[in-house]
Structure 1
Amino acid sequence: MTDETTGFCRDCFSPVPDGAERCPACRRPRLLFHPEISSLTIAHMDCDAFYAAVEKRDNPELRDKPLIIGGGTRGVVSTCCYIARIRGVRSAMPMFKALAACPDAVVLKPDMAKYVAVARDVRALMRDLTPLVEPVSIDEAFLDLSGTERLHHASAAVSMARLAKRIEEEIGITVSVGLSHNKFLAKMASDLDKPRGFAVIGREETLSFLASKPVSMIWGVGKALETKLAREGITRISQLQKMEEHDLMARFGSMGSRLYRLSRGLDSRHVEPVHETKSISAETTFMRDISDRAELDRILWPLCDKVATRAKAAGLSGST
């Protein structure tokens, strides 16, 4: 693909002229166009409805059914397929609300050992492209493909499209890709075109793209900060783009600096393959409320033992 080419086919990876509606080579319509498509190298890849996708892969009878991965009436939804999402089910939703929204859903308990094994296979394919793979969670990761163009004889965009197709064919699940010039925007892009999507945010469009978005789309802005910003009359990123950094820091402390930078699409973080472990935890969900201290002690001990075992295996000790 030449530097002048701004589009390619996501199925056969052939260059596609601007304005085409189908690939001249394979006649398929999954085309990707962007004026900076050959120069962007930071990607975020996210598996689509990961747990549910793995279960549907392994049981074709579930393919056209709403599927929820979770457990018990007092549990929460770990994830759900897109059919269930259309019915109003969301991750982290209490199970009783999810089943009220989608009473005909099939509910399966999570099989974490299986999901970890699939995630390991996906990550191995990522590392075939670049050693700079930074896992974010079991089903998503950042990739830095800078300098890989000569190795793979393709732009980072084409390499990521090939990777997405390879995961679909060899592992049997689908992924969505975001491509940009930094991690913040790559992560944001991967959420724009789910499932089986591929979205690009270029340098030239960064400010205009962010301007219309709600402040909640900024990494680190949770409900509490969103409410605090709203009390100040700030609901859109465009408002933050008009403010000075020292003013934002005076109002919001160190978070003000982050708001200033990310509202302008500035993110200097590198893709880091290795992360220091910040915490180790274990948890359970009760089917009924428990207030008896002795019973809680019996439940707490094996959770503590599980955390201690993991910490010992990793050669770690706690600081609190």
Structure 2
Amino acid sequence: MPALCRDCFQALPEDRPACPHCGSRRLVRHAELLALTVAHVDCDAFYASVEKRDRPELLSRPVIVGGGHRGVVSACCYIARTTGVRSAMPMFKALRLCPDAVVIKPEMAKYVAAARQIRALMEALTPLVQPLSIDEAVLDLAGTEALHRAAPAAVLARFAREVERKVGVTVSIGLAPNRLLGKLAAERDKPRGFAVVGAAEAAAWLAPQPVTVLPGVGPALARRLEAAGFTRLGQLAALDAREAARRFGEEGPGLAARARGEDGRRVSPERETKSISAETTFDADIAGLAELERPLWRLCEKLGRRLREQQLAAAGVVLKLKTAGFAQRTRTTRLPGPTLLPEVIFDAVRPLLAREADGTAFRLIGIGAQPLAPAAAADRGDLADPGAPKRAARWQAVEALRARFGEAAVGLGRGLKGS
């Protein structure tokens, strides 16, 4: 069975317990090792790893990156995870589980800089790099063997070492025949892992696993599957397309195919943005409509700015609320036409908020744009709204002033605190 040393990158034709070249025992073995080209790369506890890189005295300490006492965990190191702390967990609960944790406020500029370094190293390997998030991407190294004079597996092992040496964080790699299996493999051996899942073993490897390991199977779908008697991927995989559609509707055949490890998606350098959003957690719970409208307006302004930066527009809006008891409410509405204007977004989402402001105390409010449309299609005006182009020009002028003189240079009264 082919093997590869992850420290000196030598291919080993024989099954040995250690590398004969450097003595390392960090070997990866697999029958398809030298033939697979699709890799899922996931940084290990990225935000927390960057913080530990910059503060070596924290290497042996549990670290949580997140907001204040009422915020949530953005990331946590593996030491903190041993106590039960997880990303998106309320901060007060995380500190109850791990009272000795060092809590650090997120510093996005630092994480973005590290992510760009890693992305540059990826793009030196292949043009087929598809970013999935700030700390995660999928690569296809097919056809690069002559360029690198090595199999993709060896190139990826060298890449992982380069990330550690040049960026100061670690990555885990999943090597597989397709994107789905690559992602699942990357989760298999974290942190600093290198796992391989081949086509021949995929169905058997997936069969005993719970349906919840499959990307896209959230709590609601998992409950629906369990109610129908499906708790393991092997049960789903056994369904043919017709039976899967009968039981689970349109999504059924695709669900059964993924349970077998099938995935026809290509690795595309163009990442499709599906939604853009902004949210805020309050220092104290808020129940009144007027009090909720002020942060909502500020989020609409932020959303409009983010849309403009990405040259996109909102064709619909999503309101997100989280109650004092952490129950989440999501409400959506479509817009008459695509827009970048905060006032149009606000006017569309305000009725949704008014219906939810029934005396319930909320700890968080968020606003999102979904579906998205090209910015060129936004705020063109028509017979029903001929003033849209003028309002768009006015907001462009407002944003230009803010870019030059700061956020506080121009504002509307509805966004002022205490107004």
User: TM-score per shorter chain, which class?
Assistant: over 0.9
What's the counterpart of residue 132 of structure 2? Answer: 136
Match of 2:122 in 1: 126
Whether the 8 Å contact between 1:164 and 1:174 is mirrored in structure 2 is yes
- C-alpha distance in 2 between matches for 1:241 and 1:299: 47
Amino acid corresponding to residue 190 of structure 1 in structure 2: A
Q: Distance in 1 between matches of 2:204 and 2:276?
A: 40
Match for residue 222 of structure 1? 218
Query: How many angstroms apart in 2 are the aligned matches of 1:84 and 1:260?
Result: 36
State TM-score, norm by structure 2: 0.74
Secondary structure, aligned partner of 1:300 = helix
Is 2:47 aligned against 1:51? yes
Q: Secondary structure of 2:92's match?
A: helix
Kept after mapping to 1: 8 A contact 2:3/2:15: no
How far apart, in 2, do the equivalents of 1:152 and 1:302 lie? Answer: 50
| Structure 1 position 220, deviation (Å) | 1.3
Specify the alignment match of 2:98 in structure 1: 102
Q: Tell me which amino acid in the other structure corresponds to 2:16.
A: A
Contact 2:42–2:173 under 8 Å retained in 1: yes
| Structure 1 stretch displaced more, 292-301 or 35-44 | 292-301
One-letter code aligned to 1:296: L
Task: Indicate which of 143, 158, 164 corresponds to 2:160.
Answer: 164
Query: The residue matched to 2:313 in structure 1 has which SS?
Result: coil
- For 1:183 and 1:315, the matched residues in 2 are separated by 28
CA distance in 1, matches of 2:76, 2:275: 27
The residue aligned with 1:186 is 182
Q: Distance in 1 between matches of 2:291 and 2:279?
A: 15
CA distance in 1, matches of 2:121, 2:104: 28
Is 1:9 paired with 2:5? yes
For residue 213 of structure 1, give the secondary structure of its aligned residue in structure 2.
coil
Q: Which moved more, 1:55-64 or 1:215-224?
A: 215-224
2:315 match: secondary structure: coil
Cα offset, 1:316, TM superposition = 2.1
Residue 27, structure 1, aligned to residue 23, structure 2 = yes
SS at match of 1:173: coil
Shift of 1:290: 0.8
Contact 2:240 / 2:253 at 8 angstroms: preserved in 1?
Answer: no
Aligned with 1:282: secondary structure? strand
Q: Which has the larger radius of gyration?
A: 2
TM (normalized to structure 1)? 0.96
Aligned to 2:304: 308
Moved more, 57-66 or 230-239: 230-239
1:113 shift after superposition: 1.1
How far 1:17 sits from its partner (Å)?
A: 4.0
Say yes or no: does 1:151 pair with 2:147.
yes
Q: Is residue 93 from structure 1 mapped to residue 85 from structure 2 by the alignment?
A: no
**What is residue 241 of structure 1 aligned with on the other side?**
237
Q: 2:47 touches 2:65 (CA, 8 Å); kept in 1?
A: yes
Q: Which amino acid aligns with 1:60?
A: P
- Measured after TM superposition, the shift of residue 293 of structure 1 is 2.8
- CA–CA separation in structure 2 for the residues paired with 1:286 and 1:51: 23
Alpha-carbon contact 2:238-2:256 (below 8 Å) kept: no
Tell me which amino acid in the other structure corresponds to 2:14: D
Native 8 Å contact 1:18 1:33 kept in 2: no
Match of 2:379 in 1: none
Q: 1:86 Cα shift?
A: 0.7
Alpha-carbon distance in 1 for matches of 2:309, 2:84: 41
Q: Which amino acid aligns with 2:86?
A: R
* C-alpha distance in structure 2 between counterparts of 1:314 and 1:98, whole Å: 34
Q: Distance in 1 between matches of 2:169 and 2:273?
A: 28
Bigger Cα displacement from structure 2, 300-309 vs 229-238: 300-309
Letter in 2 for 1:14: Q
Q: Which runs of 5+ in 1 are unaligned?
A: none
Tell me which stretches of 4 or more aligned residues in structure 1 moved more than 4 Å. none
How far apart, CA to CA, are the structure 2 residues paired with 1:222 and 1:298?
32
| AA at the equivalent of 2:275 | S
Q: 1:152, CA displacement in angstroms? A: 0.4
Distance 2:194 2:165 in 1: 17
- CA deviation map 1:251-297 (0-9, x unaligned): 11122011221111110000111123222211111122112333322
Partners of 1:77 and 1:57 in 2: CA distance: 19
Say if 1:190 and 1:198, in contact at 8 Å, map to a contact too. yes
1:212 and 2:208 aligned: yes
Query: What are structure 2's unaligned runs of at least 5 residues?
Result: 317-419
Question: What is the distance in 2 between the residues matched to 1:312 and 1:90?
Answer: 33
Give CA-to-partner distance per residue, 1:146-177, whole Å, 9 cap, x none: 10111101111111111001000111000000
Counterpart Cα distance in 2 of 1:220 and 1:273: 22
Question: Which structure carries more strand by proportion?
Answer: 2
Root-mean-square deviation (Å): 1.2
The range that moved more, 95-104 or 300-309, is 300-309
Whichever residue aligns with residue 213 of structure 2, its letter is M
Q: Within 2, Cα distance between the matches of 1:64 and 1:117?
A: 24
Paired amino acid for 1:264: R
Q: Give, in whole Å, the separation in 1 of the partners of 2:212 and 2:54.
A: 36
Q: Which has the higher contact order (CA 8 A, sep 6+)?
A: 1
